[in-house]
Amino acid sequence: MTVPDRMLRVDLSAERVRSEPVPAEWLARYVGGKGLGARYLYEMEPGVDPASPANRLAFLVGPLTGYLPGEPRYAAVTKSPLTGAFLDSYGGGSFAARLAGSLGDHLGLVIEGAADDPVALSLAGGEATIEPAGDLRGLDAAETDARFPDAAVACVGPAGESGVRYATIASDGGDHHAGRGGAGAVMGAKGLKAVVARDPAPEVPDALRALRERAEAAFADSDAGRWLAAGDTLETVAFGDETGVLPTRGWQARRFDGADALGVDSASERATGRERPDDSVPGGFRVPTGEGERSDGDADADDSPDAPDATVPRGGTPIALGAGLGIDDFDAVAALGGVCDRLGIDVISAGNAVAWAVRASDAGLIDPADHGVDRGLAFGDEAAARALIEEIAARSTPLADALADGVAAAAERFGGADLVPTVKGMELASYDPRGAATMALAFATGDRGGCHRRARPVETEAVTDPGWGPAERAAVVADEQDRRAALWCLVGDDFLAESFGPAAAAEWLAALGDERDPDDLRLLGERVWTLTRLFNLREGFDRGDDGLPDALTRGTDGAGETDDAPDDGLDPRAFEDLLDRYYAHRGWDREGRPATALLDRLGLADLPDAATPVGSAETVPDFGAADGGGD
């Protein structure tokens, strides 16, 4: 069996598709997925408008996609319309597996240009065809999926068509999303309604069967595997509440009185089943929401686990749309999540946008009545939240239109930048770092913005004091970012990182005939993280964009909603010192620019163009010996 080594290049403006080999040097350095996507993105001219035809959107797999344990994934890579930064977002489910099966000897699609009228890309047998899709205009994710009963679909819903800057690419009828950062808005701007994968998922080759069985067992026995099997990511709600890191009522508190109603027990009571009940690590709970009828008109099928009125709420849904909005009714939160899923809108950004609007209204910064909203906004009001989310997806009122550009853009227009935290324009997710300060560094330095998936030191720090000193905190964040970046070049489930390292990756690739040195695979994540940093620097980002959000320098109302706790805001001076330590650990200068010595070590010295600022060894912070435990 040969490892895929080609790329499908799609120009929607010219209505042309061609197949070309991936440069051998790129394959050697970046493997696939995130790394390869970043390299294709770096080839664009600096300053490209994310909504313009010149922006690139890549759908990518890795050489092991469809074979690894855990959930199969694909990577959507583009320049984010929400942040203006590098964006990689990952979607799972059957589309990811069937995409790998439909691409043949290709690692993905790189799409440029824009169609005058809606189109779909149909994939089969390693070939792609551009097909008219005007009849799909305006359909939601479930309705679009239902038009292709014999294929797997990734599509945009109404939010992507409207250019909501945090629109998602939805797959499996809205059960899965490449969610954060607005890849769906880029897809919508290109007039690309859907990508349709028609071939089945690839079968695990004989050379990998024994490795697959061993890796499945290791994954199932890992902490992450046991955690996912017990409750998918819904257990994050209980974890956040118990440890005091659960963002509540627009980041005003860190525990939620209604958290117990939003977790695994409620999902288990209502679920029609689990997504992948036969796998060693089952998938998420399917929960009926009572929303509408099946698009095929089969009213008798509403109780089917495949009906569009069922959704798969994961941890981000009850956190952002439940605790974050002060809603403690599981069914109402699941229904809100279902609305977002069908509209193709990121639940995390949407929840934060509504929370900001409530807080801005309470603070007198906006009057909803002045912005086309004929009702009040309040925490705990599910109906008002639903109405505002639907208006955001359609950009149908002035307030919704502002919120569709993100919290940072709305705050720039109306004030209130200190209400809901953002990094690089992306709303923070899942964990309040005022309960685990190292998480603030992870958010601030994320290459795509305020993302909780790049590194999660909170999972250690919030449970027990690990005794990390500043240098150790910096190293923990950087090393986890690198591990996940490497895994996303292979395009594996990020929960696999605990049990699948460079040695295992080298063994798997060797079984496919791709011999790689494990030491080079250890450098892979650092190389790719450095490449995305170079991309962001070229787009105008600097140290200031790695800063601590103003909202996090303020205390909450206490760890709980009613406790009179002392101020627990983060110290900006301590954070700046920690950021210096992080830069030093990475070999970046004090402005966050990778130094030439680092680029030499990673084989990237020939990459930066004249528009990309780089640092020098003399300007890299020097703290001498590592400073062990304590603060």
pLDDT in tens, 136-168: 999 999 999 999 999 999 999 999 999 999 999
> Is residue 199 pLDDT above 90, yes or no?
yes
Q: What's the mean pLDDT in 486-502?
A: 85
262 with 333: CB under 8 angstroms? yes
Average pLDDT score, the chain: 90
Q: For residue 570, which of 428, 441, 468 has the smallest C-alpha distance?
A: 441
What's the rounded Cα separation, in Å, for the pair 586 and 183?
28
584 with 626: CB under 8 angstroms? no
Give CA torsion, residues 110, 112, 115, 116, to 10 deg: 170
What's the rounded Cα separation, in Å, for the pair 55 and 30?
21
Residue 274: pLDDT band by 50, 70, 90 thresholds?
confident
Q: What's the mean pLDDT in 573-579?
A: 95
What token pair was written down for 301?
Answer: 């099928």
Q: What's the mean pLDDT in 231-257?
A: 90
Angle at CA of residue 84, ends 156 and 25, nearest 5°: 90
150 conformational bin, left if phi > 0, alpha if psi -120 to 50, beta if neither: alpha
Q: What's the mean pLDDT in 295-310?
A: 40
Q: Calculate the alpha carbon distances from 140 to 136, 170, 183 in Å.
A: 9, 9, 16
- Predicted local distance difference test score (pLDDT) of residue 277: 54
> Is residue 453 pLDDT above 90, yes or no?
no
- Predicted local distance difference test score (pLDDT) of residue 284: 74
Q: In what order do the strands lie in the sheet with 285-288?
A: 273-274, 285-288, 310-311
Q: What's the mean pLDDT in 477-493?
A: 93
Tracing tokens 């010219």 back to the chain, one arrives at: 14
> Is residue 562 pLDDT above 60, yes or no?
no
The share of the chain scoring above pLDDT 90, in percent, equals 72
> Is residue 565 pLDDT above 50, yes or no?
no
Q: Calculate the alpha carbon distances from 84 to 80, 372, 407, 423 in Å.
A: 5, 29, 14, 12
* Nearby residues of 631 by Cβ (< 8 Å), 6 or more positions away: 469, 470, 574
Q: What's the mean pLDDT in 297-322?
A: 61
What's the rounded Cα separation, in Å, for the pair 521 and 527?
10
> Is residue 298 pLDDT above 50, yes or no?
no
**Cα 484 off chain centre by:** 12
> HSE of 239 in the Cβ direction (CA atoms, 13 Å)?
21
DSSP state of 197: E
DSSP SS3 for 78 = strand
What token pair was written down for 465?
Answer: 């004091």
Q: Which domains does the chain have, with CATH numbers?
A: 6-197 (3.60.9.10), 230-417 (1.10.569.10), 433-619 (1.10.599.10)
Q: Calculate the alpha carbon distances from 623 to 438, 474, 580, 587, 594 in Å.
A: 19, 12, 9, 12, 17
> Is residue 295 pLDDT above 70, yes or no?
no
What's the rounded Cα separation, in Å, for the pair 433 and 456?
10
- Predicted local distance difference test score (pLDDT) of residue 226: 78
Tracing tokens 């509408």 back to the chain, one arrives at: 292
What's the rounded Cα separation, in Å, for the pair 32 and 275?
27
Helix (H) or strand (E) holding 333: helix 330-343
Give CA torsion, residues 571, 480, 172, 128, to 10 deg: 120
What's the rounded Cα separation, in Å, for the pair 496 and 218?
10
pLDDT tens-digit map of 123-133: 999 999 999 99
> Is residue 296 pLDDT above 60, yes or no?
no
What's the rounded Cα separation, in Å, for the pair 170 and 146?
13
What token pair was written down for 112?
Answer: 């440029």
> HSE of 538 in the Cβ direction (CA atoms, 13 Å)?
22
pLDDT tens-digit map of 50-98: 999 999 999 999 999 988 888 899 999 999 999 999 999 999 889 999 9
Q: Minimum mean pLDDT among 177-181, 183-187, 220-224, 516-520: which range?
A: 220-224
268/331: higher pLDDT: 331
> Is residue 290 pLDDT above 80, yes or no?
no
Measured N-to-C along each axis, helices 33-42 and 470-490 cross at an angle, to the nearest 10 degrees, of: 90
> Is residue 340 pLDDT above 50, yes or no?
yes
- Predicted local distance difference test score (pLDDT) of residue 94: 93
332/624: higher pLDDT: 332
Q: Where are the alpha helices (DSSP H) in 157-205?
A: 158-161, 183-189
* Nearby residues of 209 by Cβ (< 8 Å), 6 or more positions away: none
83/297: higher pLDDT: 83
